Amino acid sequence: MRSTPEYDVIVIGAGMSGISAASELDKKGLRVLVLEARDRIGGRINTIYPFGPDNVAVELGAQWIHGTEANLNPLLHLIDNVSLPSDWEHTKMFNKHGALVDPQVASKCLEAVEQLGERCVEAYKKGERGSFAAFMARDVEWSGKCIFGTCPPGKVLVCANCVEKVFVGREFENVEGAELDELSIGEKAGEGNFEGDNAIPVKGYRWLLEKLIREMHSTEFRFGCEVQSIDYSGEFVTIFTSRGIHHAKTIVSTIPLGVMKSPHAPKFTPPLPPAYQHSIKTLGFGLLDKTILTFEKSFWPPSTHGFQSHLDLSPHGGPSDAFILLFNLKAGIQYNGDPNIIVAYYAANVADWLETLPDEKVVPIFLNHLTHLFGAPTPLLSHTVTRWRNEKYSCGSYSYLSKGSEFSDQAVWTRPVGGGKVVFAGEHTIETHFATVHGALLSGRRAAEQVLKKVEGVDEDFEKKEKGFGEGSEEEEEEEEEDLVKGNWKGFVVMGVVVLIALVVYMTF
β-pairing, 422-424 vs 288-295, is unpaired
* pLDDT of the residue at 2: 58
* pLDDT of the residue at 102: 94
Task: Please check if 36 is assigned to a binding site.
Answer: yes
Report H helices in 375-436: 408-411
CATH of domain 7-43+203-282+398-491: 3.50.50.60
The full DSSP string for 17-35 is: HHHHHHHHHHHTT--EEEE
pLDDT tens readout for residues 443-494: 999 999 999 998 877 544 444 444 434 334 334 444 444 444 444 333 333 3
Task: Please check if 406 is assigned to a binding site.
Answer: no
Q: Is the pTM of this model over 0.85?
A: yes
- For residue 254, the 8-state DSSP code is -
Task: Please check if 124 is assigned to a binding site.
Answer: no
Which residues, in sequence order, are bridge partners of residue 198?
66
Mean pLDDT of the chain: 88
For 216, 240, 277, 282, 415, the CA distances from 257, given in Å and listed in that order, are 27, 20, 11, 11, 16
pLDDT tens readout for residues 287-311: 999 999 999 999 999 989 999 999 9
Q: Are 234 and 120 in contact (CB under 8 A)?
A: no
Task: Please check if 227 is assigned to a binding site.
Answer: yes
Residue 508 — very low, low, confident or very high, per pLDDT cuts 50/70/90? very low
Task: Please check if 458 is assigned to a binding site.
Answer: no
What would the mean pLDDT of 15-43 be, rounded to a whole number?
A: 98
Residue 506 — very low, low, confident or very high, per pLDDT cuts 50/70/90? very low
Name, in order, each residue with C-beta under 8 angstroms of 193's C-beta and a sequence gap of 6 or more.
66, 67, 436, 507, 508, 509
Task: Please check if 215 is assigned to a binding site.
Answer: no
* pLDDT of the residue at 436: 94
- pLDDT of 509 strictly over 80: no
Q: Is 256 left (phi over 0), alpha (psi -120 to 50) or beta?
A: beta
